[in-house]
Chain A
Amino acid sequence: MSAMLRLLFFVVSLSPTLLLVTWDGSLSWALIDGIRLHLTLTPLAGFFLTLLALAAPLVALPMLRRPCDWPSLVLYVLLLLGMQLLLLAGDFVSFFVGWEVMTWSSYLLLLRSSRADMETSQSFILFNLASAFLLLAGILVFFSLTGDFAIRSLAEPSLPQALTLLALFGLAFLIKVGTLPLHIWIPSSYDQAPDAFSAFLSGSVSKMGVYGLILLPTLFPDALASFAGRFLNGPAFGYLLAWVGVITSVVATFKAISQEDMKRLLAYSSIAQVGYITTAVGVGSSLAIAGALYLALVHTLVKVLLFISVAGIVLQTGQRQFKDLGRLIERMPISFFGVLIGIIGLAGMPPLPGFAAKYLVFVSLVDARWLLLLAAMILASTAAFIYCYKLIYAPFLGHANSPGAKEAREAPWPYLVPQVILMGLLVLFGLFPGLAIDVLIDPVLVGLQMAPIGAESWAKLTTVYGGYDGVVLMLVFGIAFVLVTGLFLLLRGRMRRAGSPYDLSFAGEVPTADTPLHYGAGMGRELRRIPLVGWILRQGTRGFYLGLAGQMRAAAALLGNLYVGRPQAWILIAVVVLAASLAARAMMGGL
């Protein structure tokens, strides 16, 4: 019985794939008179459905490991269905229903973790409900303008109307994406969610916000370009959004460096990566949107990979702090390669596809002539090397620092299979940077009525600013590596393995097992001595929100003054208001 149910669950986790393969045409029916629901698959939604189809079964595998938590599985299925409805939606009613199902099922899934505390779950649901209500308000404004719920471009909205819509929808999606200062629900909830589910939260659920952000400009075809005019060679309105994204990336990157917990580090790095995507959406040119989609693809693959690897480490060692791990490279070699490939993709190093994505965004920034943004983005993406290094050094290298880390064994196969598949996909997309452009991204650009990037061949990434060849790059590096290693081994002389792990050049001392030799916890702490970084790390959004809460209380107290506790006063007020409004209408000739 249990096996049947698990099989069924796995099949349901493949439903996005099935949907992607089998869906053609569209569905449409009347809800109440005049309002029709409409399900269709646009190219843009198809791209995000592909991401979902990639991530869903891979996250489902570790969740299926015995003993499984049945309520989590049910909620996961619900979450998947909600997200598919959201992506298929051709009208705002289904979109909102999908959004709500996604919000609530992910909230309840978060609560299934024994580590989830009150503060985290409250901030999660508070921010996500705020997002949902903003979305609802936006939808109602949209309906009042068009008299219809269908998602389509507005015919010549006035400036205040468009601004209202942009603010409501934009805030809703930015909360989901988690840009500064709306990010504070992310680190603790990604950290405390069940380990395998964190992968899905970061890899897939955050992408729905990105989907909304890219969908938003299609409501007003030339809104971004015509609102506040153009700044240099890009839309001035997007310039603001791009700065929001880049500042998010910079701050979140430094926060990530200073974390001492693996999953919190990954959570902050998620915020930073999605910040890049926000920047690219702000630029808005076809190069930039291609870059944003490419980044979304890479981020999904990389974050699912990294969160599952980390989940395996936590499962096998019982430790999640950097200071308690170390030397797992010999005990968990496959997880080591998983994290290695993951951080290479995360840091955007060639030859993996992270580089192709960053290349597109950099080039789009040069093309838009927004060089200061480019410099800030370089700052974030170079500083990311430090947390990437921390993420691989502290668990896998150095010295084992806890009994759990000393006796750990390789993660079980439900954790390893997704890692191996994801590593394969990353290497594939790295070898063929044009593949993702040709198959996944160009159809979306055509659907958005933008110029496609075009790929001469799958091996090449070509833009007007030049490109590169992934196969040649990988071959040159591979051959050089084999030649160097071969030549080295041919040289005279022998290699000797150090007698013990304490056989080190340690400033003239001989370290023992009691000497603190693992640098995992302290790494990055010295960055605070750089004035700018120290300043950034001292700031927090907590004060902002406490201030906001204080203001809310003051406003509530002001309102409370009206209520004096005597019913007569209230009746009097009601009568006065009624009389005044009647008088006003009478004077204006309404009666």
Chain B
Amino acid sequence: MMHAVVDSLAMIGVSYVMGFLFYGFYRQLNARIQRRWGPSIWQNFFDNMKFFFKSETLSHGPMFFFGPMIIMAGAFTTVLFVPFLKDSTWLQGFSQYGNLILIIYLLVVGPLGNALAVGSSGNPFGVMGVTRGLTRLMGLEVPFFLGLALVMLQHETSSVHAIMAAQDGLANWGIVTNPVAFVVILLPFIAAQNASPFDVVGAPVEVYAGPRVEFGGRLLGVLMTQNMMMSIAKLVLVVDLFLGGASNVLVLIAKAFSLFLLTTAISMVFPRLKTEQAVDFFWKVPLGIGVLAVILTVWLPSWSA
């Protein structure tokens, strides 16, 4: 019991610290590419704290208040159901009670709860943002899930622990044994991270037609925190599935960071897509690769056998 409590707090702490440092680094890197100095790497932490200590927060009723609470609780739950380390009793949370499909669905619980708050605010532009978000989700989830299904099929389980345990040694990493699945999930994963070029839902210039339009003060702080933590949970999940998991925190940070660098590099090069362009892209390119992968790795072997 005590172990579970300490472990949960540690996971939440690790994901929060990793979250603001990764995003701080992102802002630095982005600035340097655009030939600016950029803020310090701690800036995200300062911003987050500033929001949390605002003296006044505007609310539009009870549901508006509970939405960010649901999204935060959803972020905590997601983090606690993703195993951070393998072969360790620490940083496991409650992951042995869950599975990959559950985690994918948990990623969506919070944002849907927050969508209620956005609707409750009575701002039509916020709701428009939610619809954009749900539309993008509909686009990205199809190839993303297909890629994960290829992994589940490869290991014949939906347990993240079992998938991690099967990847001992570099030669058995998912990215080596099942590279097509990684290619299939990579771009939808960037969209799931709400990163450019698929960031029309929350991009700074789109705030006025985005889900966050009515939120300010401490509630915006909550939204920012959960976003950083969710991003880390997703990064760790992909590390678990494709990069062999991690046996200690330093390895975890290194692997997650290299994955983050890869996605960031892609993000920085491409201009933002409209929602319908993004969805159409997901259904043509990543899904197309996914269908090819299914034909090559599932259909052909069964026919030749």
Check if A and B associate. Answer: yes
Within 8 A of B (CB), among A340-375: 340, 347-350, 355, 359, 362-363, 365-366, 369, 371-372, 374-375
Give residues of chain A (472-504) contacting chain B, Cβ–Cβ below 8 Å: 472-473, 476-477, 480-481, 483-485, 488, 491-498, 501, 503-504
Q: A371 to B294, Cβ gap below 8 A?
A: yes
Question: Do the beta carbons of B94 and A472 come within 8 Å of each other?
Answer: yes
Asked if residues A371 and B162 are in contact (CB atoms below 8 Å), the reply is no
Contact between A466 and B145, CB atoms less than 8 A apart: no
Stretch at the interface among A73-81, A146-154, A526-534, A575-583: A526-534
CB distance from A521 to the nearest CB of B (A): 11
1/0 contact string of A233-247 vs chain B (CB within 8 Å)? 100000000000000
CB of B298 within 8 A of CB of A507, answer: no
CB closest chain-B residue, reference A485: B69
A495 to B189 CA separation, bound complex (whole angstroms):
36
Binds A, one of B83-91, B99-107, B197-205, B236-244: B99-107
Q: Closest CB-CB distance, B106 to chain A, in whole Å?
A: 6
Contacts of B162 in A (CB 8 A): 466
Q: Does B72 contact A (CB under 8 A)?
A: yes
Question: Which B60-98 residues sit within 8 Å CB-CB of chain A?
Answer: 60-61, 63, 65-66, 69-70, 72-74, 76-77, 80-81, 94, 97-98
The reply to whether A389 and B124 contact each other, CB–CB distance below 8 Å, is no
B interface, how many residues as a size bin?
35 or more
Are A465 and B120 also in contact (CB < 8 A) when A378-B141, A389-B134 are? no
Judging by beta carbons under 8 Å apart, are B280 and A532 in contact?
Answer: yes
Known pairs A375-B290, A382-B138, A398-B122; A232 contacts B70 (CB<8 A): no
Residue of A nearest to B290 (CB): A375
Chain B, 230-276, CB within 8 A of any chain A CB: 275-276
> B38 within 8 Å of A by Cβ?
no
Given A372-B294, A375-B145, A375-B287, A493:B280 Cβ within 8 A: no
Is A383 interfacial (CB 8 A cutoff)? yes
Q: Is the CB of B61 within 8 A of A371?
A: no
* Residues of chain A within 8 A of B21, CB atoms compared: none
Asked if B121 is at the interface of the complex by the 8 Å CB criterion, the answer is yes
Instruction: List, in ascending order, chain A residues with CB within 8 A of B214's CB.
Output: 504-505
A465 to B100, CA, bound (A): 10
Are B123 and A506 touching (Cβ within 8 A)? yes
A480 to B152, CA, bound (A): 29
B residues in contact with A386, CB < 8 Å: 131, 134-135, 138
Does B220 sit within 8 A of A, measured CB to CB? no
Is B116 an interface position by the 8 A CB rule?
yes
* Interface flag for A10 (CB, 8 Å): no
Asked if A467 CB lies within 8 Å of chain B CBs, one says yes
Nearest CB on B from A16, distance (A): 33
Taking the complex as formed, is A315 at the interface, i.e. its CB lies under 8 A from any CB of chain B? no
Q: Does B108 count as interface, using CB distance less than 8 angstroms? A: yes
Contact A480 B222 (CB under 8 A): no
Check B125 for interface membership: any CB of A closer than 8 A. Answer: yes
Given contacts A371-B294, A382-B137, A465-B158, contact A523 B149 (CB under 8 A): no
Contact between B122 and A504, CB atoms less than 8 A apart: yes
A182 within 8 A of B: no
> Separation in Å of the B182 CB from the closest CB of chain A?
16
Known: A530-B279, A532-B283. A496 touches B56 (CB 8 A): yes
Give the distance to chain B from A510, nearest Cβ to Cβ, in Å: 13
Q: Does B193 contact A (CB under 8 A)?
A: no
Whether A374 and B149, one on each chain, are in contact in the complex, defined by CB atoms closer than 8 angstroms, is yes
Q: Which residues of B contact A493 (CB under 8 A)?
A: 53-57, 217-218
Cβ-based interface call for A468 (8 A): yes
Q: Which chain A residues in 379-396 approach chain B with CB under 8 Å?
A: 379, 382-383, 385-386, 389, 392-393, 396
Which residue of chain A is the closest to B79 with respect to CB atoms? A480
| Contacts known (A232-B302, A504-B122); A355 close to B97, Cβ less than 8 A | no
CB distance from B187 to the nearest CB of A (A): 15
Q: Which A residue sits closest to B159, measured CB to CB?
A: A466
The residues of B that contact A397 with a CB separation of less than 8 Å are: 63, 116, 119-120, 122
CA distance A136 to B143 in the complex (A): 44
Which residues of chain A have C-beta atoms less than 8 A from B74's C-beta? 477
Task: Answer whether residue B153 sits at the interface, using C-beta atoms and an 8 A cutoff.
Answer: yes
Taking CB atoms, residues of chain B closer than 8 Å to A330 are: 61
Interchain CB contact under 8 A, A466 and B158: yes
B123–A505 CB distance below 8 A: yes
Q: Mark B161-200, 1 if CB is under 8 A from A, else 0.
A: 0100000000000000000000000000000000000000
User: Given A350-B102, A496-B58 in contact, is the A389-B69 Cβ separation under 8 Å?
Assistant: no
B146 contacts chain A at the CB level, 8 A cutoff = yes
CB–CB B157/A465 < 8 A: yes
Q: Could you say which residues of chain A place their CB within 8 Å of the CB of B222?
A: 484, 488
Bound CA–CA A516/B120 (angstroms): 16
> Does residue A517 face the partner (Cβ distance < 8 Å to B)?
yes
Which partner residue on chain A sits nearest B65 by CB separation? A495
Q: Would you call A399 and B69 a contact (CB within 8 A)? A: no
B66–chain A nearest beta-carbon distance, Å? 8
Cα–Cα distance between A524 and B138 once the two chains are bound (Å): 12
**Known contacts A359-B101, A378-B141, A480-B73; A491/B218 CB under 8 A:** yes
B99 touches A398 (CB 8 A): no
User: Do A523 and B131 contact each other (CB < 8 Å), given the known contacts A232-B298, A375-B290?
Assistant: yes
Decide yes or no whether B23 CB sits under 8 A from chain A.
no
Tell me if A255 is interfacial: C-beta within 8 Å of chain B: no
In the assembled complex, the CB of A309 is this many whole angstroms from the nearest CB of chain B, namely 16
B59 CB–A CB distance under 8 Å: yes
Cα(A329)–Cα(B63), bound, Å:
9
Per the 8 Å Cβ criterion, residues 527-581 of A in contact with B are: 527, 529-532
Once the chains are docked, how many angstroms separate the CA of A492 from the CA of B276? Answer: 42
Q: How far, in Å, is A256 (CB) from chain B's closest CB?
A: 13
Does B208 lie at the interface of the complex (its beta carbon under 8 Å from any beta carbon of A)?
Answer: yes
Q: Does residue B206 face the partner (Cβ distance < 8 Å to A)? A: no
**Does any Cβ of A come within 8 Å of B130's Cβ?**
yes
**Does B102 lie within 8 Å of A468, measured CB to CB?**
yes
**A518 CB–B CB distance under 8 Å:** yes
CB distance from B237 to the nearest CB of A (A): 15
Does B47 touch A at the CB level, under 8 Å?
no
Q: Which residue of B lies closest to A231 (CB)?
A: B302
Contact A526 B124 (CB under 8 A): no
A residues bordering B, Cβ < 8 Å? Answer: 232-233, 327, 329-330, 340, 347-350, 355, 359, 362-363, 365-366, 369, 371-372, 374-375, 378-379, 382-383, 385-386, 389, 392-393, 396-399, 465-469, 472-473, 476-477, 480-481, 483-485, 488, 491-498, 501, 503-507, 516-519, 523-524, 526-527, 529-532
Q: List B residues at the A interface (Cβ < 8 Å).
A: 52-61, 63, 65-66, 69-70, 72-74, 76-77, 80-81, 94, 97-102, 105-106, 108-109, 112, 115-116, 119-125, 127-128, 130-131, 134-135, 137-139, 141-143, 145-146, 149-150, 152-153, 156-159, 162, 208, 213-214, 217-218, 222, 275-276, 279-280, 283, 287, 290-291, 294, 298-299, 302
In addition to A371-B294, A484-B72, A495-B59, 6 A-B residue pairs with Cβ atoms within 8 Å of each other are: A355-B102, A355-B105, A371-B153, A375-B142, A516-B124, A526-B276
A-B CB contact pairs (8 Å), 10 listed: A466-B159, A473-B81, A480-B80, A483-B76, A484-B72, A491-B53, A493-B55, A506-B125, A527-B135, A532-B280
